[in-house]
A and B are shown apart, each in its own frame.
Chain A
């Protein structure tokens, strides 16, 4: 199961993004600054927009979905339980997963954006997918839920998972790193080998790299472990 970007070019007025590469099975982290084209690329990969040129090929992938940054766009059920059922899921279980126990009868849009994001992410992670594209899955979540969501993604991720984010504080362990800069999608490679060439790495990774140590992965815990190993 894999996804191939074959000389893909996305353009919009004075902006363009070129992307090529193969997303094999595993968790891929795609980073880039705000406005670099992460969301546009995510939508193109989800086949919601046609690239200006090139081709996006699915190999062995039959079920895919995209989680957009703003959960409001996904919300189509009047009540929380309607929203959960619109995903074909059982309200009780999802409410518990999302920390919304006893709130199934409330109006979906009466939830705060953070609660709505928890609800949406819980629904999407409960589905069965071959390819899951998550655009800023940690945005609008508080730190506690960012950590919980990170664990949920690791526990429930489908074979090919793409995480587009500029999050710097709470990141999941990933298998591959990609970076969008200068209008190109750069394939940095598998982790941990790719970490030293990651220009937009979080501060804690930069600090560890300064000591000449490469952490096993990209989380804060990995960085701490690397420093401990060095001092030991």
Chain B
């Protein structure tokens, strides 16, 4: 799906559908196998282990306290697949396009800039995770569970520091609010078919979805 506007709306609809029920998750997974085949953007093995491992841990905990752990794991895993499809390839500039198209040069520019910076940071997280894991291993801490908390804290703090530096840089360069940007979009026939597919899924699940809300 080339058109970022359709992709963002589809991402929202599909994420809601996948999270609302197991049936929704299965339908969205089918949608993903058909329409995301050229743009899956799956993460590296280590990042995938950390992301899905964290989901699995929460699922086990949920199951232990009497919840539907397996259902949670399935639904969230499909939501993650949709997220990788939508943003894994680095969609910062596209979000900028969509935000300015939707909200104009003042609010849209600010929202787009924030989204662009946020996705830029996400792109660096994989490297941060790898380097922090190396550092933790060199201290002699082994095992995913024991290193998860220090890893999480360190990665979040590095991101916060980086965000602070970016904010200061913008301020020093004179950024206050708004700006000029001309959004551009590409789209093909398959974009509309995939978009229609995501709307059909939401309609098919309307009862479940409304109950969930």
Same assembly: yes
**What is A's interface to B at a CB cutoff of 8 Å?**
43, 46, 48, 65-66, 68, 70, 72-78, 86-88, 109, 113
Residue of A nearest to B129 (CB): A73
Residues on B with beta carbons closer than 8 Å to the beta carbon of A65: 138
The distance in angstroms between the C-alpha atoms of A133 and B132, with both chains bound, is 16
The yes or no answer to B45 lying at the interface (CB within 8 A) is: no
Flag if A75 contacts B157 (CB, 8 Å): yes
Flag if A73 contacts B161 (CB, 8 Å): no
Known: A73-B128, A109-B157. A87 touches B135 (CB 8 A): no
Q: Which of A66, A72, A74, A78 contacts B161 (CB 8 A)?
A: A72
The distance in angstroms between the C-alpha atoms of A113 and B165, with both chains bound, is 12
Flag if A76 contacts B135 (CB, 8 Å): yes
The distance in angstroms between the C-alpha atoms of A43 and B134, with both chains bound, is 9
User: Main SS of chain A's interface residues?
Assistant: loop
Residues on B with beta carbons closer than 8 Å to the beta carbon of A74: 135, 139
Residues on A with beta carbons closer than 8 Å to the beta carbon of B140: 88
The yes or no answer to B182 lying at the interface (CB within 8 A) is: no
Flag if B161 contacts A76 (CB, 8 Å): no
Known: A78-B153, A86-B139, A87-B139. A72 touches B134 (CB 8 A): no
Flag if B153 contacts A76 (CB, 8 Å): yes
Flag if B157 contacts A73 (CB, 8 Å): no
User: Main SS of chain B's interface residues?
Assistant: helix
User: B128, B141, B153, B160: which has the most chain A beta carbons within 10 Å?
Assistant: B153
Interface residue tally on B, bucketed by range: 10 to 19
Q: 26 A-B contacts, Cβ less than 8 Å apart?
A: A43-B134, A48-B134, A65-B138, A66-B134, A68-B131, A68-B135, A70-B131, A72-B157, A72-B158, A72-B161, A73-B128, A73-B132, A73-B134, A73-B158, A74-B139, A76-B132, A76-B135, A76-B136, A76-B141, A76-B154, A78-B153, A86-B139, A86-B141, A88-B140, A109-B157, A109-B160
The yes or no answer to B150 lying at the interface (CB within 8 A) is: yes
- Extra 6 A-B pairs, beta carbons < 8 Å, given A74-B139, A109-B157: A48-B134, A66-B138, A76-B139, A87-B139, A88-B140, A113-B161
Cβ contacts B122-148/A at 8 Å (1 or 0 each): 000000100110111011110000000
4 tightest CB-CB pairs across the interface, nearest first?
A76-B150, A73-B131, A74-B135, A109-B157
Q: Tell me the smallest distance from the CB of B126 to a CB of chain A, in Å.
A: 13
Residue of A nearest to B162 (CB): A72
Known: A78-B153, A109-B161. A73 touches B139 (CB 8 A): no
Residues on A with beta carbons closer than 8 Å to the beta carbon of B157: 72, 75, 109
Task: For chain B, residues 151 to 205, give those with C-beta under 8 angstroms from any C-beta of chain A.
Answer: 151, 153-154, 157-158, 160-161
The distance in angstroms between the C-alpha atoms of A132 and B151, with both chains bound, is 23
Q: Tell me the smallest distance from the CB of B164 to a CB of chain A, in Å.
A: 11
Residues on B with beta carbons closer than 8 Å to the beta carbon of A77: 150
Task: For chain B, residues 105 to 134, give those with C-beta under 8 angstroms from any C-beta of chain A.
Answer: 128, 131-132, 134
The distance in angstroms between the C-alpha atoms of A74 and B135, with both chains bound, is 5
The distance in angstroms between the C-alpha atoms of A75 and B158, with both chains bound, is 10
Q: Tell me the smallest distance from the CB of B136 to a CB of chain A, in Å.
A: 6
Residues on A with beta carbons closer than 8 Å to the beta carbon of B134: 43, 46, 48, 66, 68, 73
User: B135, B139, B140, B153: which has the most chain A beta carbons within 10 Å?
Assistant: B135
Q: Tell me the smallest distance from the CB of A115 to a CB of chain B, in Å.
A: 13
The distance in angstroms between the C-alpha atoms of A26 and B120, with both chains bound, is 42
Residues on B with beta carbons closer than 8 Å to the beta carbon of A43: 134
Q: Tell me the smallest distance from the CB of A110 to a CB of chain B, in Å.
A: 10
